[in-house]
């Protein structure tokens, strides 16, 4: 027995026809193999489908008030029901009418008078195709989810590696990334691209993995020679992240390379100036400095948000893009909310860790 035959009883077919005799004929043909429901009009069919979507619809074309073409068109306009195969059952001739039916989304036609063997063959074929498509889509979704989880793990590892020997707290990279994403959205970046920047921003200091501990952990002001080595992290980060040619890591490489450039050209590593600095890096530079100023470090107290905004305003046209600074500072309330949200998350993480240790 084929897999399709095994599963036939679990498939449901909705028969839609305004003629009771036609409904009875189709019910008699289908009921031994399928769960059959019926609807005497297009309006009732739509209500039935919304309540319990069938696996396939046999739909009469010529019906009063709402014909089958309109019913099919409405179904296909709704993502939840667009995948249900619709077979028109009609006494109309072929040609233009069939073309109209296919145009609104039907998968097949069955002509009246009904031939039982033909009905069973068409229904079985399209149920099998629909079922296989659903199985394939589920497999693709599972693989996609697995890839997303793997990608997130890679992001987390690279972001953590960049700060492993630094004095930053772990939450810094994610909070800063949230600021960057919020600013990107205010700059009218598409949501998907802003989300991508939020992920890429966490890896901005990946290159610090190549900087000696003696410099990263130096409990004093760095010498000029040490500072020159520290600045190499931008190039190192770019070289690491540019190994993977996908939109996320391409953006992360760009950010890692350019987030220490300054609007007036005095930054590093390439002394880019103005809009020659990628917008992604200009966004992350603002978010990174704001977060660094407002977080507590072993060697300093956290600045207030107001003091940080004042500093950023003073650096407009020197360190930062002036227009971006104006927009960033207008986001005062939103940025404070983000800061508060991550403070709560950090407290929850600390509490959970302490609970596990006890």
Q: From CA 268, how far away is CA 222, in angstroms rounded?
A: 17
Q: Which residues of the chain have pLDDT under 70?
A: 1-9, 92-97, 144-170, 298-299, 349-350, 352-353, 358
In a domain, 141, yes or no: no
Q: Please provide the size of the chain in residues.
A: 358
Phi first, then psi, for residue 320 (nearest 5°) are -115, 155
Task: Specify whether 254 is located in the same domain as 339.
Answer: yes
Task: Specify whether 127 is located in the same domain as 155.
Answer: no
Task: List pLDDT tens digits, range 86-104.
Answer: 999 987 655 456 778 888 9
N- to C-terminal Cα distance for the chain?
58
* Residue where a domain stops, chosen among 114, 136, 158: 136
Task: Specify whether 252 is located in the same domain as 219.
Answer: yes
Q: From CA 70, how far away is CA 61, in angstroms rounded?
A: 9
pTM for the predicted model, two decimal places: 0.60
Interhelix angle 233-241/116-163, nearest 10 degrees: 160
Residues 96, 100, 103, 108, CA torsion sign: negative
The two counts, helices (H) then strands (E), for the chain are 16, 5
In a domain, 309, yes or no: yes
Q: Which domain holds residue 246?
A: 147-357
Task: For residue 209, give the DSSP letter.
Answer: G
Task: List pLDDT tens digits, range 212-228.
Answer: 888 887 878 889 999 99
If one counts the domains in the chain, the total is: 2
Q: Are strands 86-90 and 108-111 parallel, antiparallel or unpaired?
A: parallel
Task: Specify whether 160 is located in the same domain as 79.
Answer: no
* Residue where a domain stops, chosen among 108, 136, 164: 136
Task: Specify whether 120 is located in the same domain as 229.
Answer: no
* Residue where a domain stops, chosen among 81, 102, 136: 136
Question: Which CATH number fits the domain that encloses residue 43?
Answer: 3.40.50.2300
In a domain, 142, yes or no: no
* Cα-to-chain-centroid distance, residue 269: 33
Task: Specify whether 106 is located in the same domain as 205.
Answer: no
| Residue pair 5/128 in contact by the 8 Å Cβ criterion | no
Q: From CA 180, how far away is CA 203, in angstroms rounded?
A: 12
In a domain, 177, yes or no: yes
């Amino acid at each position: 027995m084929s897999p399709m035959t095994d599963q036939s009883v679990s498939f449901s077919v909705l028969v839609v026809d305004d003629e009771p005799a036609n409904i009875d004929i189709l019910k008699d043909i289908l009921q031994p193999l399928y769960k059959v429901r019926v609807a005497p009009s297009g309006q009732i069919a739509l209500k039935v489908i919304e309540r319990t979507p069938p696996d396939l619809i046999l739909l009469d074309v010529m019906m009063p008030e709402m014909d089958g073409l309109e019913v099919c068109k409405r179904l296909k306009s709704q993502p939840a029901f667009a995948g249900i195969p619709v077979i028109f059952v009609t006494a109309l001739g072929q040609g233009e009418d069939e073309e109209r039916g296919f145009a609104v989304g039907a998968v097949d036609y069955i002509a009246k008078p009904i031939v039982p063997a033909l009905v069973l063959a068409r229904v079985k074929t399209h149920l099998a195709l629909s079922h296989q498509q659903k199985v394939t889509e589920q497999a693709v979704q599972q693989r996609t989810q697995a890839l997303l989880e793997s990608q997130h793990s890679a992001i987390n590892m690279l972001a953590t590696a960049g700060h492993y020997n630094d004095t930053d707290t772990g939450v810094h990279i994610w909070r800063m990334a949230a600021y960057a994403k919020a600013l990107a959205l205010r700059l009218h970046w598409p949501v998907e691209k802003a989300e991508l920047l939020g992920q890429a921003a966490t890896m901005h200091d990946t290159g610090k993995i190549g900087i000696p501990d003696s410099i990263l952990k130096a409990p004093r002001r760095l010498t000029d020679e040490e500072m020159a080595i520290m600045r190499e992290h931008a190039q190192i980060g770019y070289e690491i992240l540019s190994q993977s040619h996908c939109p996320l890591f391409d953006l992360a490489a760009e950010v890692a390379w350019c987030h220490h450039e300054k609007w007036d050209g005095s930054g590093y590593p390439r002394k880019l100036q103005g809009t020659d600095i990628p917008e992604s890096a200009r966004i992350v530079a603002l978010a990174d400095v704001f977060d660094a100023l407002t977080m507590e470090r072993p060697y300093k107290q956290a600045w207030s948000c107001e003091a940080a905004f004042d500093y950023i305003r003073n650096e407009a046209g020197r360190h930062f893009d002036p227009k971006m600074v104006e927009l960033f500072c207008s986001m005062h309330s939103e940025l404070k909310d983000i800061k508060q949200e991550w403070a709560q998350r950090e407290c929850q993480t600390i509490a959970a860790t302490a609970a596990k240790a006890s």
